[in-house]
Amino acid sequence: MLSTALTSHLFPLHKTNEFFHRRRGRPCRQPIDRHLRADVVKSSSGLQEIKKPAAAPSDERKELSTTWESTGLPPVTAAKRVVLVRHGQSTWNAEGRIQGSSDFSVLTQKGESQAETSRQMLLDDSFDICFSSPLARSKRTAEIIWDSRKKEIITDSNLREIDLYSFQGLLKNEGKAKYGAAYRQWQIDAPNFNIDGHYPVRELWSRARNCWAKILTHESRSILVVAHNAVNQALVATAIGLSTEYFRVLLQSNCGVSVLDFTPNPEGGSPEICLNRLNQTPSPPVSAGSAGGRKTSMRIILVTHGLPQSGVQGEDPFSTDRPLNMLGIIQAQKTAELLLDVKVSTIVSSSAITSVETAKAISKVQEAADCLGADCVPRYVEMKQIPDLDVENILNQTRQESTTLQPGWLRGFEDDVARALWDQSGVAWKSLVDEVSKGSENVNVVAVGHPALNIAIMGHCLNLSKEWLGSFHLDAGSITVVDFPDGPTGRGVLRCINYTAHLGRWSIPITRSTLDDEDF
């Protein structure tokens, strides 16, 4: 066991007196704390929430009864894209040791290789600046990715990993043995986890908002940020307005890449924000693994159908009533190949031509997956069309010009159209969860649909509201993976959003703006 000296911090710990909390919804199936009551008021800078204690809260709960309000992020005068990267595998990752903000681990050989893959992934991007955590494992990852770029990497101690105080340096089984109930709370109720008089997750959320103040006020428009698992989760969550309850819901794998787009708000104030992608990893996200540190064997894989043949000018480029064009066929085939090693239980789709053709391409590859010899038996995969996934009639009601290739395009929907899409997608989400519930283990349900539907389904998974529709983006042929580490009755964990690496040369580059050059 390591000496207690290893748990000391190289950087001062910041005690949080006020926790900035932007919150518009609660995570899927997360019980509401009966000791607290939330009053939510709409404001121009987002939502404000005032937490009020129930009668006579215990001393342990007094910390939770603090009043806080959201403060908008700094306004931007031009569009900005921020690319977040988690460091590669470290020696303490490999050992299963709790790192926190300690600085005693370095990249493993695998970690260096992952960083090199990320460098190649981001090779064509002309970043203006790089911000990095000062901890060795992140700084080395940043140096590999930054490569021969001439500008100096800016280190910021606020980008260090979450401060875990006495936990740091312990193997996970040592933490469990030594701290018992506290370690269990860290695993199942991290936002309320208290150690050495601190609430680490709350402190982290406050620190993440301070990071955004520095990043967004920098003159650069294309920004690389290299940091850590927990702090990158906090950066994503605080950017789009999610509370500490979303800790461990937006996964960040070693060298996973996440992209956020910030555009000026026409009404002024806090910018409009879109999570363009989450956790684009060096290795495929459909391989077996854990979700939030827990093993998972149940998942929904949302597939955005391939592009259809051209129609009338100005029509939705994702229109579902036409066959796939050549690029759409390639996208469908590439997605089928990505899922080759996944034993898909069921493939569901809408009745739209584009979705059905994409689903059939996946089904053919799945059924042939085990046929490598003369005695092979084709794998049976159930295929079905679910009316709940049909949204074409709803989308045809909008009067906005088709802008489905731009981040945040769903913000342009009229309120009645957005409400209809939201209600329909809620029914679709329930249908998908029901499909997962039919199996006991190793259940993989693939759902093929329109990007608007899949975006709305993600919102229901996170237990948000229709106001969040413009906060996410999906490209043609992309996949989004929802894991259920606690089974279908537990909340969904987003392993990745808008993963497109499998499309190779036919994918939209991670960091290239989908807006016109003059706008970005």
Structure tokens at 440: 């006991």
Catalytic choice (87, 305, 450, 473) = 87
CA distance 512 to 520: 10
337 labelled catalytic: no
Q: Are 365 and 408 in contact (CB under 8 A)?
A: no
93 annotated as belonging to a binding site for a ligand? yes
Catalytic choice (49, 161, 392, 435) = 161
CA distance 39 to 432: 32
Tell me whether strands 129-132 and 222-227 are parallel, antiparallel or unpaired. Answer: parallel
Other C-beta atoms lying within 10 Å of the C-beta of residue 297: 15
Residue 448: its H or E element: strand 443-449
Structure tokens at 92: 């303490």
Q: Are 242 and 22 in contact (CB under 8 A)?
A: yes
CA distance 515 to 520: 6
Q: Are 222 and 128 in contact (CB under 8 A)?
A: yes
87 annotated as belonging to a binding site for a ligand? yes
Kindly state the DSSP code that residue 222 receives in the 8-state scheme: E
87 labelled catalytic: yes
Structure tokens at 426: 């809620």
89 annotated as belonging to a binding site for a ligand? yes
Count CA atoms within 13 Å of residue 315 on its CB side. 13
Q: Strand, helix or coil at 274?
A: strand
172 annotated as belonging to a binding site for a ligand? yes
Residues at the annotated binding site for substrate? 86-93, 137, 172
Q: Active-site residue numbers? A: 87, 161
Q: Detail the residues annotated as belonging to a binding site.
A: 86-93, 137, 172
